Amino acid sequence: MRLVTENPEETIEAGYRVGKALRKGQTVCLYGDLGSGKTVFVKGIARAMGIAEREITSASFIIISEHMGETGIPLYHIDLYRLEKGGIEETGIYDYIGRDGIAVIEWAERAADMGDCIRVKINFISEDKRELIIEGLDETDRK
Ligand code: ADP
Ligand code: MG
């Protein structure tokens, strides 16, 4: 699926749509340059899970932040931006992936093999315009 958003709210709405189609144990891998809108997109996934958007922030030193959704499904927001090369094992992120919650990973390309994930690539078009390429999402079984 390819879509173009014209402002941050539209990217949140795209995240919401993906969030509504997600099920426990699934992983979303986010790709895109700094400032492309990955964290904004995660806010939409959070909205779909009944988590306040203000809880979703850009990581400074925290690599994993956990948020409990209204449905009892936790959201693991993982940001690998500051990951040192080769340090992936030490982060412990593999303990959060494919388990009881939904894992969303920014800078997923910094981890070697993320296995089966829904891939979202965000491309900068202009100041407020972004292209989103979403692959691997099954919307036939939406909640
Ligand atoms: P990333 O996590 O990819 O580094 P952020 O989500 O933190 O990026 O930031 C994206 C920035 O781009 C925000 O300041 C947001 O307001 C701005 N922005 C402008 N237009 C859009 C859009 N269409 N979609 C998402 N973000 C946008
Ligand atoms: Mg970010």
pLDDT tens, position by position, 111-120 = 877 889 999 9
| 44 CA distance to ligand 2 middle (Å) | 13
Q: How many CB atoms lie within 10 A of CB 75?
A: 25
Residue 141 scores a pLDDT above 60:
no
38 lines ligand 1 (CB under 6 A): yes
Residue 81 in tokens: 């931006």
Amino acid (one-letter) located at 1 = M
58 lines ligand 1 (CB under 6 A): yes
Indicate which atom in ligand 1 lies nearest the CA of residue 34.
4
pLDDT tens, position by position, 68-92 = 989 899 999 999 998 877 787 788 8
| 72 CA distance to ligand 2 middle (Å) | 24
72 lines ligand 1 (CB under 6 A): no
Tokens 């895109």 belong to residue: 32
HEC string of 49-74 equals CCCCHHHCCCCCCCCEEEEECCCCCE
| 59 CA distance to ligand 2 middle (Å) | 7
First to last CA, the chain: 19
User: Across the chain, how many H-helices and E-strands are there?
Assistant: 3, 7
- Name the strands in the sheet holding 27-31, side by side, starting at the edge strand that comes first in the sequence: 2-5, 129-135, 118-126, 27-31, 102-106, 74-79, 64-68
What size, in residues, is the chain? 143
pLDDT tens, position by position, 86-120 = 787 788 888 999 999 999 999 998 887 788 999 99
Residue 131 scores a pLDDT above 90:
yes
9 lines ligand 1 (CB under 6 A): no
In this structure, the residue with its CA closest to atom 19 of ligand 1 is 128
| 32 CA distance to ligand 2 middle (Å) | 9
Residue 122, C-beta contacts closer than 8 angstroms, at least 6 positions apart: 11, 30, 31, 32, 36, 37, 38, 41, 130, 131, 132
Q: What is the dihedral of CA 51, 52, 54, 57, to 10 degrees?
A: 0
**What is the rounded CA–CA span in Å between residue 114 and residue 110?**
10
